[in-house]
A and B are shown apart, each in its own frame.
Chain A
Amino acid sequence: MTSISSASPGLAGNDPSNRLFGPLPDVSADAGYVEEHPARVGFFTDTSVCIGCKACEVACKEWNTLPMDDSHGVRDAMGMSGMSYDNTGMLGANSWRHVAFVEQTRTVDLPMPTFGRPGDDRQGSGPSPMTPGDGVSLADAQQSSVLNAEALSEFDPQTGQSGADKQIRWLMSSDVCKHCTHAGCLDVCPTGALFRTEFGTVVVQGDICNGCGYCVPACPYGVIDQRKDDGRVFKCTMCYDRLTDGLQPACATACPTQSIQFGDLDELQARADARLATLKGQGVETARLYGRDENDGVGGAGAFFLLLDEPEVYGLPPDPVVTTRDVPAMWKAAAQGAALIIGVAVSAVLGSRKR
Chain B
Amino acid sequence: MPGLGASFGRGGATNFLEDLSNADCIVIEGSNMAECHPVGFQWVMEAKARGAKIIHIDPRFTRTSAVADLHVPLRIGTDIAFLGGLIRYVLDNDLYFRDYVVAYTNAAALVGEDFVDVEDLDGLFSGYDAENRMYDEDSWAYEPANPPESSADDPAEAAEQEQLDDAPAVRESDQAQAAGSGGPPIPSKPKRDETLQHPRSVFQVLKRHFARYTPEMVSEVCGIEPAVFEQVAKWVTSNSGRERTTAWVYSVGWTQHSVGAQYIRTASILQTLLGNIGRPGGGILALRGHASIQGSTDVPTLFNLLPGYLPMPHAMQHSTLDEYCADAAGKAGFWGNKRDYMVSLLKAWFGDAAQPENDFGFDWLPKINGDHSSYRTIADMIEGKVSGYFLVGENPTVGHPNGRMNRFGLANLDWLVVRDLQMIESATFWKEGPELETGEMSPDTIGTEVFFMPAATHVEKDGTFTQTQRLLQWRHKAVEPPNDARSDLWFFFHLGRILRERLKDSTDPRDQALLRMTWDYPLHGETRDPDADAVLREINGTGPDGQPLSSYMQMKDDGSTSGGCWIYTGVYADGVNQAARRKPGSEQGTVASEWGWAWPLNRRMLYNRASADPDGKPWSERKKYVWWDEAAGEWTGVDVPDFEKNKRPDYVPPEGARAQDALAGDDPFVMQGDGKAWLYAPAGLVDGPLPTHYEPVESVVENAFYGTQASPTVERIDGPWNRENPSRSEVFPFQVTTYRLTEHHTAGAMSRTLPYLSELQPEFFVEVSPELAALRGLTHNDYATLVSARSAIEAKVLVTERVRPIKLRDGRVVHQIGMPYHWSYGGLSTGDSANDLLGIALDANTHIQEDKVSTADIVPGRRPRGPELLEFVEAYRRRAGVASGRVGVNGRDPVEASAGEGSTQ
Chain B hits for A52, CB < 8 A: 34, 63, 66, 742
Closest Cβ of chain A: how far from B889's Cβ, in Å?
A: 34
B775 x A133 contact (CB < 8 A): yes
Chain B hits for A166, CB < 8 A: 801, 804
Closest Cβ of chain A: how far from B24's Cβ, in Å?
A: 15
B742 x A53 contact (CB < 8 A): yes
**Of the 9-residue stretches B221-229, B433-441, B543-551, B589-597, which lies at the interface with chain A?**
B221-229
Asked whether any CB of chain A lies closer than 8 Å to the CB of B38, the reply is yes
Closest Cβ of chain B: how far from A122's Cβ, in Å?
A: 5
For residue B860, which residue of chain A has the nearest CB?
A133
Contact with A along B781-808 (1 / 0, CB 8 A): 1000000000000001011111011110
**A78 to B778 Cα, complex, angstroms:** 22
Partner of A58, one of B700, B756, B780, B860: B756
B813 x A163 contact (CB < 8 A): no
**A82 to B811 Cα, complex, angstroms:** 32
B65 x A162 contact (CB < 8 A): yes
Partner of A68, one of B755, B796, B811: B755
Partner of A126, one of B45, B61, B781, B812: B812
Known: A79-B763, A138-B773. A163 touches B228 (CB 8 A): yes
Closest Cβ of chain A: how far from B826's Cβ, in Å?
A: 15
A115 x B733 contact (CB < 8 A): no
Contact with B along A118-129 (1 / 0, CB 8 A): 111111111111
A126 x B800 contact (CB < 8 A): no
Q: Which B318-361 residues sit within 8 Å CB-CB of chain A?
A: none
**Of the 9-residue stretches B68-76, B479-487, B618-626, which lies at the interface with chain A?**
B68-76
**A55 to B308 Cα, complex, angstroms:** 35
Asked whether any CB of chain A lies closer than 8 Å to the CB of B878, the reply is no
For residue B776, which residue of chain A has the nearest CB?
A133
**A68 to B828 Cα, complex, angstroms:** 11
Known: A85-B761, A140-B779. A80 touches B770 (CB 8 A): no
Chain B hits for A127, CB < 8 A: 700, 728, 730, 733, 812
Known: A82-B798, A125-B811. A55 touches B38 (CB 8 A): yes
**A134 to B814 Cα, complex, angstroms:** 20
Partner of B804, one of A88, A116, A119: A119
Closest Cβ of chain B: how far from A275's Cβ, in Å?
A: 9
Asked whether any CB of chain A lies closer than 8 Å to the CB of B774, the reply is yes
Chain B hits for A201, CB < 8 A: none
Asked whether any CB of chain A lies closer than 8 Å to the CB of B39, the reply is yes
B224 x A141 contact (CB < 8 A): no
Known: A115-B807, A142-B770. A170 touches B802 (CB 8 A): yes
Chain A hits for B812, CB < 8 A: 124-127
Asked whether any CB of chain A lies closer than 8 Å to the CB of B760, the reply is yes
B759 x A68 contact (CB < 8 A): yes
Closest Cβ of chain B: how far from A226's Cβ, in Å?
A: 19
B66 x A172 contact (CB < 8 A): yes
Asked whether any CB of chain B lies closer than 8 Å to the CB of A145, the reply is yes
Closest Cβ of chain B: how far from A121's Cβ, in Å?
A: 8
Partner of A51, one of B66, B771, B860: B66
B66 x A160 contact (CB < 8 A): yes
Partner of B45, one of A68, A79, A145, A257: A257
A122 x B798 contact (CB < 8 A): no
Q: How many residues of B contact A (CB 8 A)?
A: 77
Asked whether any CB of chain A lies closer than 8 Å to the CB of B364, the reply is no
Asked whether any CB of chain A lies closer than 8 Å to the CB of B573, the reply is no
B813 x A126 contact (CB < 8 A): yes
Closest Cβ of chain B: how far from A12's Cβ, in Å?
A: 50
Chain B hits for A61, CB < 8 A: 756
Among B64, B65, B762, chain A packs the most CB atoms within 10 A around the CB of B762
Asked whether any CB of chain B lies closer than 8 Å to the CB of A209, the reply is no
Among A49, A127, A140, A157, chain B packs the most CB atoms within 10 A around the CB of A127
Q: How many residues of A contact B (CB 8 A)?
A: 72
Asked whether any CB of chain B lies closer than 8 Å to the CB of A258, the reply is yes
Known: A51-B38, A70-B762, A82-B781. A160 touches B771 (CB 8 A): no
For residue B764, which residue of chain A has the nearest CB?
A80
Chain B hits for A136, CB < 8 A: 773-774, 777-779
A87 x B761 contact (CB < 8 A): yes
Chain B hits for A123, CB < 8 A: 775
B760 x A133 contact (CB < 8 A): no
Chain A hits for B700, CB < 8 A: 126-127
A165 x B225 contact (CB < 8 A): yes
B760 x A87 contact (CB < 8 A): yes
Asked whether any CB of chain B lies closer than 8 Å to the CB of A103, the reply is yes
**A197 to B330 Cα, complex, angstroms:** 74
Chain B hits for A70, CB < 8 A: 759, 762
Partner of B61, one of A157, A165, A170: A170
**A87 to B365 Cα, complex, angstroms:** 53
Known: A79-B763, A87-B761, A257-B42. A119 touches B756 (CB 8 A): no
Asked whether any CB of chain A lies closer than 8 Å to the CB of B557, the reply is no
**A112 to B228 Cα, complex, angstroms:** 11
Known: A116-B811, A172-B66. A162 touches B73 (CB 8 A): yes
Contact with B along A163-190 (1 / 0, CB 8 A): 1111011111000000000000000000
Known: A117-B807, A122-B774. A54 touches B800 (CB 8 A): no
A115 x B759 contact (CB < 8 A): no
Asked whether any CB of chain A lies closer than 8 Å to the CB of B738, the reply is no
Closest Cβ of chain A: how far from B221's Cβ, in Å?
A: 13
Closest Cβ of chain B: how far from A123's Cβ, in Å?
A: 8
**A117 to B742 Cα, complex, angstroms:** 31
Closest Cβ of chain B: how far from A106's Cβ, in Å?
A: 10
Closest Cβ of chain A: how far from B710's Cβ, in Å?
A: 17
Known: A103-B802, A138-B774, A170-B66. A54 touches B780 (CB 8 A): no
For residue B796, which residue of chain A has the nearest CB?
A80
**A67 to B759 Cα, complex, angstroms:** 11
Closest Cβ of chain A: how far from B460's Cβ, in Å?
A: 17
Chain B hits for A140, CB < 8 A: 779-781, 799
**A111 to B50 Cα, complex, angstroms:** 30
Known: A52-B66, A78-B829, A138-B799. A112 touches B227 (CB 8 A): yes
A132 x B780 contact (CB < 8 A): no
Known: A78-B829, A168-B65. A133 touches B761 (CB 8 A): no
Chain A hits for B48, CB < 8 A: 157
**A322 to B631 Cα, complex, angstroms:** 71
Asked whether any CB of chain B lies closer than 8 Å to the CB of A105, the reply is yes
Asked whether any CB of chain A lies closer than 8 Å to the CB of B233, the reply is no
**A227 to B804 Cα, complex, angstroms:** 41
A53 x B224 contact (CB < 8 A): no
Partner of A172, one of B63, B225, B769, B860: B63
Chain A hits for B65, CB < 8 A: 160, 162, 168, 170
Asked whether any CB of chain B lies closer than 8 Å to the CB of A253, the reply is no
Asked whether any CB of chain A lies closer than 8 Å to the CB of B577, the reply is no
B775 x A122 contact (CB < 8 A): yes
Closest Cβ of chain B: how far from A255's Cβ, in Å?
A: 9
Asked whether any CB of chain B lies closer than 8 Å to the CB of A69, the reply is yes
Contact with A along B43-75 (1 / 0, CB 8 A): 001001100000010000101111111111100
A80 x B38 contact (CB < 8 A): no
Known: A51-B64, A133-B774, A142-B770. 5 other contacts (CB 8 A): A70-B762, A78-B762, A125-B813, A169-B66, A257-B38
Question: Mind listing 30 A-B residue pairs with CB under 8 Å?
Answer: A49-B49, A49-B67, A51-B38, A53-B38, A61-B756, A62-B756, A70-B762, A78-B829, A79-B763, A85-B63, A114-B225, A115-B809, A116-B807, A116-B811, A118-B769, A118-B805, A121-B813, A124-B775, A126-B812, A127-B700, A127-B733, A132-B776, A133-B778, A136-B774, A141-B773, A161-B69, A162-B73, A164-B227, A171-B66, A256-B41
Chain B interface residues toward A at CB < 8 A: 34-35, 38-39, 41-42, 45, 48-49, 56, 61, 63-73, 219, 223-225, 227-228, 700, 728, 730-731, 733, 741-743, 755-763, 765, 769-771, 773-781, 796, 798-802, 804-807, 809, 811-815, 828-829, 860
